[in-house]
Amino acid sequence: MIDASIIIVNWNTKDRLKECLCSIYEQNVRCTYEVIVVDNASSDGSIEMVKREFPRVILVENQENKGFAAANNIGINAAKGRYYLLLNSDTVVLGNVIDEVVSFADSESRVAVVGCRVLNPDRTLQPTCFMFPSLLNMILSSIYLYKLFPRSRFLGREQMTWWNRDDTREVEVVTGCFMLVRRQAVEEVGVLDERFFMYGEETDWCYRFKQAGWKVVFAPVGQIIHFGGASSSKMAAGKTLQLRGAILQFIAKHYSKATYISACVLTGVFFSIRVPFWLIRTIISPQNRLSYWGIVKVYSKGVFKLLHGHKGLLVKTNK
C-alpha cells in the first residue's frame, strides 16, 4: 500500500489542471503516492492533455458530469493509498506540503481529516475551515457584519474570520479544496454522500467523521494556492442559490424538522431582502443594469423555489 492517493476531479479546467499536476510532479515528494484524475466529461481537451503530458496519471473518464462527490468516490474506489488527498484542479501545491500533511497524520492516529494553509493567488490568506451550519450561523453569515468586524469571535464564528490559521487546532469542517483523509476512517464512516452534487459534501463528511469519534484538524504544516477561492466574494447569484440549497440539504439530513423549516424561512428572508436592494441598484446604475437585473431574477426565483424546500434550489452544475 502506498502512502497517499491524490485525487483530482476535473471539469473543463484544462489549463488549471495542468498547473496543478505540474506543481505535484515538480515537488521532491518523499512519500509514495499516485495521482488519480477523475474527469467529469470535459469538452475542453483536458483528457487529451493529461494523456499527452502526464502519462503517469491514472485517468478516469466519466461519460457525464457526475458531480464533485460522486467523482471523488470513483477516485477513492480506485485508490491504493493509506490516505486520500482530495485536491481541487484549480490549486497549486507549494513546497513539501504533501509530505508534511502525511507526516502529521501519521503522528495523530485518531485524526480522520487534515487541512493545510490555503492562499489566494496574491498570497493572502484564504479563510478555509468553518463551523457546521446552524440557525445562528445562517443569521450571522446573512447580515455580513463579520466583514465589518472580522476579528469578532461571535460575528465571524461561522468562517472563523478572527483566526489567522497559524496554529494547529481541531475544527468542525475542512474545506474540500485540500483534504487529506485517512483510509481507515473512510472504511468506518463511508465515502462522500453523492446526494450532495455541489457544495456541502465535505461538511457532511466531516460531520459524520466527528459523530463517529474521529478528529478533523487544521495544521499549518504546508501551503497551497487556490485560484477558485479568490473569486468567492463575487460568486454568481445562481451559485449562491446552490450553496444555500446545500446548507438546507445538510440541515434536513442531520437536524430536526423544526430546525429545517426555520432554516428555510431564514433563507427565504435572505433572498427576499436582496430583491429590492438589487432592484434599486438596477435603477440607479444603468451601465450595470443588465447584470443587476439578472441577479434580481435569480433571487426572485429563489424565493419561489423554496416552496419546494432545498431541492428547488439545487441544480446539477459542476464546481
The overall average pLDDT reported for the chain is: 92
Contacts of 290 (CB under 8 A, 6+ apart): none
**pLDDT value of position 308:** 81
In the predicted structure, residue 128 carries a pLDDT above the cut 60: yes
Q: How many CB atoms lie within 10 A of CB 220?
A: 16
DSSP-derived 3-state class of residue 127: coil
- Residues 161-183 have a mean pLDDT of 95
- Residues 297-314 have a mean pLDDT of 87
5 touches 60 (CB < 8 A): no
**pLDDT value of position 199:** 85
Which residues does residue 178 pair with via DSSP β-bridges, in sequence order?
A: 87
58 touches 75 (CB < 8 A): no
- Residues 297-315 have a mean pLDDT of 85
Q: How far is CA 160 from the centre of its chain?
A: 16
Backbone angles phi, psi at 108, to 5 degrees: -130, 95
Give the model's confidence band at 311: pLDDT under 50 very low, under 70 low, under 90 confident, else very high. Answer: confident
The model's pTM is 0.91
160 grid coordinates: 472563523
**pLDDT value of position 318:** 40
DSSP-derived 3-state class of residue 173: strand
Secondary structure letter of residue 2 according to DSSP: E
| Whole-angstrom distance, CA of residue 127 vs CA of residue 180 | 18
| Whole-angstrom distance, CA of residue 104 vs CA of residue 83 | 12
User: Per residue in 37-73, pLDDT tens?
Assistant: 999 999 999 999 999 999 999 999 999 999 899 999 9
What are the Cα distances from residue 152, in Å, to 100, 147, 166, 211, 283? 31, 10, 17, 28, 35
Q: How many CB atoms lie within 10 A of CB 15?
A: 13
**pLDDT value of position 307:** 83
Give the model's confidence band at 315: pLDDT under 50 very low, under 70 low, under 90 confident, else very high. Answer: low
Instruction: Express as a percent the part of the chain with pLDDT over 90.
Output: 80
Contacts of 218 (CB under 8 A, 6+ apart): 114, 115, 116, 128, 129, 165, 168, 169, 171, 174
The amino acid at 252 = A
In the predicted structure, residue 229 carries a pLDDT above the cut 80: no
Alpha helices in the chain (DSSP H): 14-25, 46-53, 68-78, 97-106, 135-143, 145-148, 183-189, 201-211, 237-254, 257-284, 289-305
DSSP-derived 3-state class of residue 255: coil
In the predicted structure, residue 231 carries a pLDDT above the cut 70: no
13-22, 156-165, 222-231: least confidently modelled range: 222-231
- Residues 222-240 have a mean pLDDT of 68
CA dihedral 265, 268, 270, 273 (to 10 degrees): -120
**pLDDT value of position 238:** 65
Instruction: Kindly list the structural domains of the chain, giving each domain's residue range(s) and its CATH number in brackets, ordered by start.
Output: 2-129+165-231 (3.90.550.10), 235-312 (no CATH)
Using CB atoms within 10 A of its CB, is residue 107 exposed (0-12), middle (13-18) or buried (19+)? exposed
